[in-house]
C-alpha cells in the first residue's frame, strides 16, 4: 500500500511537480480507501491526519492532482463526484433501484469506445459518468419493491 503511494509520488516527481503534504495525504487516502471518495469525505480524512491543513488546501490539492492526470472523478448517481486515482480508471454501472455500483474494466468498455469513435468520430469518456440501469438482483423483483423494503428497514 505504501509502495502504491510512493509509485504515484514518483510519477508526480518525474513530472517535476512539488510534493506537498496535502497532495501526499490525498494520494494516501485514495490508496488506503480504494477510491470512491467524495471530496468532502476526503477532506475530512486528510484533516484527521493533518489537522493544520485547511480544507481549501485539500480541495486545491485535489484539483491540482486532477489537472496533472493523477486523480479522476466519476459521477455515480445524483450525489457528489467520487474521486479515484487515474491508474484505477474504470467505468461504472449504477443500479437505479438499490444504488449498487459495478466496476467495469477498460478492457470491457474499449470496444464500445472504439465503435463510438468509428461511427460518430466522438471520443467518449466512459469514466466521467456512470451508466444507470437495474442490477441483476433488482430485476428479480418488480420495480419499486426493493427500495420500499430498504426504506422500511431503516
Ligand atoms: Zn439493484
Ligand atoms: Zn469506481
Ligand atoms: Zn465531473
Rounded to an integer, what distance in angstroms lies between the CA atom of residue 42 and that of residue 32?
11
pLDDT tens-digit readout, 90-123:
999 999 999 999 999 989 999 999 999 999 999 9
Tell me: pLDDT of 37 over 60: yes
Selection from 62, 103, 104, 56 nearest residue 83 by Cα: 62
Rounded to an integer, what distance in angstroms lies between the CA atom of residue 9 and that of residue 15?
10
Tell me: pLDDT of 151 over 60: no
Name residues with Cβ closer than 5 Å to ligand 1, which is an ion: 95, 97-98, 100, 135, 138
pLDDT of residue 149: 56
pLDDT of residue 123: 95
Q: Are 66 and 52 in contact (CB under 8 A)?
A: no
Half-sphere exposure (Cβ direction) of 40: Cα atoms closer than 13 Å? 3
Which ligand is closest to the CA of 74, given by its number? 3
Rounded distance from Cα 122 to ligand 2 centre (Å): 23
Extents of the domains making up the chain: 1-72, 89-154
CATH of 89-154, one of 3.40.50.300, 3.30.1490.190, 3.90.550.10, 3.50.50.60: 3.30.1490.190
pTM of the model: 0.77
The kind and range of the H/E element at 28 are: helix 21-32
Amino acid at each position: 500500500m505504501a509502495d502504491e503511494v510512493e509509485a504515484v509520488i514518483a510519477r508526480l516527481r518525474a513530472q517535476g511537480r512539488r510534493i506537498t503534504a496535502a497532495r501526499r495525504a490525498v494520494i494516501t487516502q485514495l490508496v488506503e480507501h480504494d477510491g470512491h471518495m467524495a471530496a468532502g469525505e476526503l477532506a475530512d480524512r486528510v484533516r484527521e491526519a493533518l489537522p493544520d491543513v485547511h480544507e481549501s488546501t485539500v480541495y486545491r490539492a485535489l484539483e491540482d492532482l486532477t489537472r496533472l492526470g493523477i486523480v479522476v472523478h466519476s459521477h455515480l448517481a445524483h450525489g457528489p463526484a467520487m474521486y479515484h486515482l487515474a491508474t484505477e480508471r474504470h467505468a461504472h454501472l449504477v443500479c437505479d433501484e438499490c444504488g449498487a455500483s459495478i466496476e467495469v474494466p477498460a478492457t470491457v468498455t474499449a470496444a464500445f469506445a472504439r465503435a463510438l469513435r468509428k461511427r460518430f468520430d466522438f471520443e467518449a469518456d466512459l469514466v466521467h459518468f456512470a451508466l444507470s440501469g437495474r442490477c441483476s438482483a433488482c430485476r428479480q423483483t418488480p420495480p419499486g419493491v426493493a427500495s420500499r423494503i430498504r426504506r422500511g428497514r431503516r
